[in-house]
Amino acid sequence: MKLKKAELKDFLDSKVELYNNPKFIESDPIQIPHQFSRKEDIEIAGFLTATIAWGNRKSIINNANRMMEMLDYAPFQFVTQHSKQDLDQLSGFVHRTFNQNDFIQFIKSLKHIYQYHNGLEAVFNRNANKDSLQQSIHQFKHIFFEIPHLERTMKHVSDPLKNSAAKRINMFLRWMVRNDNAGVDFGIWNSLSPTQLSCPLDVHSGNVARKLGLLKRKQNDAKALAELDKALRRLDANDPVKYDFALFGLGVFEGF
């Protein structure tokens, strides 16, 4: 489906309008951080939810809810004040290849980030480039695993500099940074700007982007992400990842 740039922009803008509204929350993992009002609770709930956001959406939402239950519905308090015994209550958690040991490691790494690095926002802001957060994600992984950690857990944090599209972290960053005035994305990280965000690239958004001529590269990797970013910035440099709603909606809800 080849459209002229103006037609393509109109088409995608109309889809953004259709999907970027509170109804979207009902079937999306973003509903988990929406259970909270405190900034730190939202970002921790969002980060943990995004981490397990692959596979069946229903099971992602169920398992993310289970995570919140295990954290006593007070993620920030649990992360920063847990004792060794408290970590026992996380045993038995599993979502696909993310298990209780990974969960415990994530809680310890998050505690370290809030104690010694001034929180998640500060870590991502510290290494941000003017028009990209991919370097930030790379550095975040270093900081996340600078404490003693399980080797196996490292695979659950992507690294764009190792050619990963880092779909889940880019989605998390969209949630935190982008203020959509529609009540879906939170926009609670004011130190970063939507202009720096990258589209969460997965099977659905990738396939739709290729059909629309926004993406030529066949693999969904960091190189494809850079290509898609460029195309979306040409459509809207100030808010390129709003088109994630259009690409995702067209792929998942419309079978485009």
Q: Is the pLDDT of residue 3 over 90?
A: no
Instruction: Classify the C-alpha dihedral 39-173-194-11 as positive or negative.
Output: negative
pTM for the whole structure: 0.96
pLDDT digits (tens, 9 = 90+) for 133-191: 999 999 999 999 999 999 999 999 999 999 999 999 999 999 999 999 899 999 999 99
Would the pLDDT of 1 be above 70? no
Phi and psi (nearest 5°) for 22? -55, -25
pLDDT for 2 beyond 70: no
Q: What is the pLDDT of residues 29-57, one digit of tens each?
A: 999 999 999 999 999 999 999 999 999 99
Q: Please name every residue paired with 98 in a beta bridge, in sequence order, or none if there are none.
A: 95
Residues contacting 225, CB < 8 A, separation 6+: 134, 160, 165, 166, 170, 198, 199, 201
Res 255 pLDDT > 90: no
CB within 8 A of 177, min separation 6: which ones? 185, 187, 189, 192, 193, 194, 196, 197
